[in-house]
Amino acid sequence: MANLLAVPFKKTYNIDIATAARNYLSEHGDTHPDAVKFDIKQWHEMRQKIVTLEPHANRISDILSYHAQLVSILTKFPVDIQLEISYAPVFSPSAVPITLPNLVFERAALLFNLGSLYSQLAALEDRSNIEGIKRAAAYFQNVSGTFQYLRLTVLPTFSIPPGDDEETPADLSSPFILAIEYLALAQAQECFWQKAKLDNYKNGLVAKLAAATMDLYKKALTTILEATPPIKHIFSSDWLAHIEAKRCHFEAVAYYRKSREELEQSRYGLEIAHLTLALSAVQKGYDVARKGRVSPAVLNDIQSFLEMAKKETARAERDNDLIYHHDVPPTSSLPVIQQALVAQPATPKGLVNPSLVVPANNMLFSGLMGWGTREAINIYNDRKKNLIEEQLVHSAKESRHAAEGILHSLNLPASLEALDRPVGLPPSFLKKAEEVRLENGPVKIEAAIEDLYRLSRQNSKLLNEAMDILDHEASEDESARESMSLDRPPSHEANAHLAEKERRYRAILNQAASSDETIRVKWDQWERNITELTWDEADLEASVPSSTKQARSGETETRARNLRKLLETLNEIQEDRENFIRRAQALADADDIQSRILKAAAGFERLAETHPAMFEDVSNDELAKYDKFIQWMRNLESKQEEVLSSIKSENELFLQSRKDSEAVKAREQALQSLDLSYHKYKEIIQNLEEGINFYNDLIAILLQFKDACRQWSNERQHEIHSLSRSMRSLTVGDEHHPEQNGLRSSRPLV
């Protein structure tokens, strides 16, 4: 049996690449899946080759080729394309595998298995000859280089979604990989030490090589024992004992070879001091190896060395006592043996530069736009849309509502219209009343309220049905526990995640119901006023008091004229806003950032993974085109504030200049009330539309929730039914001979 360790493969399983890739391209890509069906097939075939691995040098090229393609694939697809990838823990191939929808997980595990393959090839080498030792050393350095590449290049890009920490593969943690790096380097260094011994190198150099070997084994063990969180439990106990025994062995070898050098220099006291340390180290190593179930080869090596160290120590002490009489210095005063570190991590060139393995024209999905590039375009379009909506449209709406609120508080333009038209109705108001009349406003609101409450009831019904499913499952679970033993949590624990969702959805519905009631109260308060707007023109005009035209002072005429001009300016500001929004929207419709993004992407390395953040500068430059519209809107906002301030001042002077009768005041109030009724009508309609849209969106979510509850319940019920069938089959098996021992059975005994 070899006295060096080989890292086992991480066991993997077949995965459905075709379905995941086709679904992703159908939903997110700009290329039809059939256009790349050959690439999908090639991906599947390459992956199949690494499902079952054996330690053969030919498999290196299979893994390197697949890795090169994965690097390319990760530039075209996001990490998560809903492709469930499973790998078992490295030292527990029969354990439940960890499954993650993560292509970086696939890449990391693939590199792990490449390092494992190198280590197994190294362990299989015949190290009884120089050439075999050289090949083993080279392979072990490849092991260290592969795991170093995995740790430094790939693991930083491998992240687990929050909440899934228990799914983190511990054998792909940085401390675990670093420990394997050190172990592989230690075994490579051991090969160099072995070669130096066979080549009869000087004792001093062999001691330095052994000291470096000891230090690498020590680093591997320290990394394992001091890792946070602990990774000691991942390794089998014989591995830890092996590493510790090797550390002690090579510490002893270094001291022994140093003692031989001291003997050659006739420094007999120093020889004995170093032999004492060698004997102490090898004795400790022997105790560890004997108790730790290490391989017989390692135990035999240490045992043989222990016997030799004892003999050499006894010989040296006898010779010194009888012949040389040199003082033996305390072992604590001996200088540390210098190290000669030869082994170095050797990363395969095909990892660092995948193009050396697979030419650019043979990379899979080479015709697809990179997912990071495509996502950057989508993010830009979303940012552009949100900018127009929030910075322009929403801002314009808020400014208009603010101006309308101030005008209503000042009774404008009703006071001017009452002054100009002492009888009849202003044309602007007749237009508003006609809109409500043509829409049959009250009937429209009542129908919308009915739809709102119907949708609310439908949402509540869906939520109740989902909970009924869970309650039914809980009843079945309780009944089953009375007749059989179930090795699973009770329903109230197992469905906690679903119950928590139900509570959130219920709170949302209660909050929505409160909003619905607010709309209903608002409608009750304004129903009579809004209904008046549907009257015919004659009845509506009759409902508004008239006033006789009075003589007006010149100041009143001047103030009224000034107010009209200011109101016209306010209207012009609003028209300017709408014009700017139309221009910005037209620019957005014609705005296509794809060419700039693609040009920027071409500047990156061909196989570099592109992320949307890498195009942030390009996106910001393009969005700067809309800064002028934002600034124009801000200027209009400032101008509106100035105009509204002037309107307030001018209206105050206008009111002071008038000597209105009570009839004029009553007419103003009636016109203002009807105008406010129109705005309340529009407000209620908008509230109802928002509520209906909300409930329609929520229905889709609750349907999914109900389906999730049903699926969960079915899985739980299937477990019970399967267990019940198993119990019945066992019972039936026991009753093939019901009359045995003179007993009859009419039904199975449970």
Q: Which of 89-98, 162-171, 176-185, 574-583 shows the lowest per-residue confidence on average (mean pLDDT)?
A: 162-171
Residue 120: domain span: 1-199+345-368
pLDDT by residue (tens digit) across 325-367? 999 999 999 999 999 999 999 999 999 999 899 887 788 887 7
Place of tokens 């992703």: 24
Q: Out of 247-251, 626-630, 707-711, give the one with best mean pLDDT.
A: 247-251
- Tell me what pLDDT residue 733 has: 46
Quick one: which of 356, 363, 358 has its CA closest to 73?
363
For 536-549, what is each residue's pLDDT tens digit?
777 776 666 665 55
Looking at residue 611, what is its pLDDT?
A: 63
Which tens digits make up the pLDDT trace of 4-19?
999 999 999 999 999 9
Whether residues 75 and 189 fall in one domain: yes
Side chain identity at residue 704, one-letter code = Q
Does 77 map to a domain? yes
How many structural domains does the chain have? 2
How far apart are alpha carbons 693 and 690 in whole angstroms? 5
Q: What are the tens digits of pLDDT across the range 217-240?
A: 999 999 999 988 788 888 877 899
Residue at 432 is within a domain: no
Assigned token pair, 166: 């228990």
Residues 101 and 154 in one domain: yes
The structure tokens 């993650």 sit at 100
Question: What's the CA gap between 745 and 750, in Å, rounded?
Answer: 12
CA–CA distance, 414 with 671 (Å, rounded to integer): 6
Query: What local confidence, expressed as pLDDT, does residue 553 receive?
Result: 53
* Residue 6 belongs to domain with CATH number: 1.25.40.280
Name the nearest CA neighbour of 138 among 62, 57, 211.
57
613 inside domain: no
Q: Which of 90-94, 209-213, 318-322 is predicted least confidently? A: 90-94
Q: How confident is the model at residue 421 (pLDDT cuts 50, 70, 90)?
A: low
Do 1 and 133 lie in one domain? The reply is yes
Mean pLDDT of 525-531: 85
Same domain, 246 and 114: no
Residues 190 and 295 in one domain: no
For residues 2 and 97, state if they share a domain. Answer: yes
Burial of 525 by CB count in 10 Å (0-12 exposed, 13-18 middle, 19+ buried)?
A: exposed
**158 shares a domain with 11:** yes
pTM: 0.64
**Residue 609 reports pLDDT greater than 50:** yes
Half-sphere exposure of 117 (CA within 13 A, CB side): 23
pLDDT tens by residue, 464-494: 999 999 898 888 888 888 777 777 788 888 8
Token pair in block for residue 207: 């001691």
Report yes or no on 171 lying in a domain.
yes
How much is the pLDDT for 257?
Answer: 96
Average pLDDT on 618-637 reads 88
Mean pLDDT of the chain: 85
pLDDT value of position 72: 87
The predicted structure's pLDDT at residue 546: 60
Kindly state whether residue 108 falls inside one of the protein's structural domains: yes
Inter-residue contact 705 to 506 (CB < 8 Å): no
Contact partners, residue 127, CB within 8 Å, separation at least 6: 133, 136, 191, 194
Any domain includes 242:
yes
For residue 681, name the pLDDT band (cuts at 50, 70, 90). Answer: confident
Q: When comparing pLDDT for 524 and 720, which is higher?
A: 524
How high is the pLDDT of residue 379? 84
pLDDT at residue 425, as a whole number: 64
Cα–Cα distance for residue pair 716/710, rounded to 1 Å: 10
Which is higher by pLDDT, 430 or 26?
Answer: 26
- Amino acid 715: pLDDT: 84
Same domain, 177 and 109: yes
177 within domain boundaries: yes
**Distance in angstroms (rounded) separating the CA atoms of residues 675 and 669:** 10
Banded pLDDT at 417 (limits 50, 70, 90)? low
Q: Is 71's pLDDT higher than 80?
A: yes
Query: Per the domain annotation, does 307 fall within a domain?
Result: yes
326 and 350 share one domain:
no
Range with top average pLDDT, 269-278, 564-573, 641-650, 728-737 = 269-278
Amino acid at 35: A
Q: 15 with 119, same domain?
A: yes
Closest CA to 597 of 618, 583, 620: 618
What is the CATH number for 246? 1.20.58
Same-domain check for residues 168 and 55? yes
Beta-carbon contacts of 604 under 8 Å, excluding residues fewer than 6 positions away, are 610, 614
pLDDT exceeds 60 at position 89: yes
- Is 571 a residue whose pLDDT tops 80? yes
CA-based nearest residue to 640, from 560, 584, 566, 559: 566
pLDDT at 625: 85
68 & 158 share domain: yes
- The dihedral through the CA atoms of 103, 105, 107, 110 has a sign that is negative
**Mean pLDDT confidence for 13-37:** 88
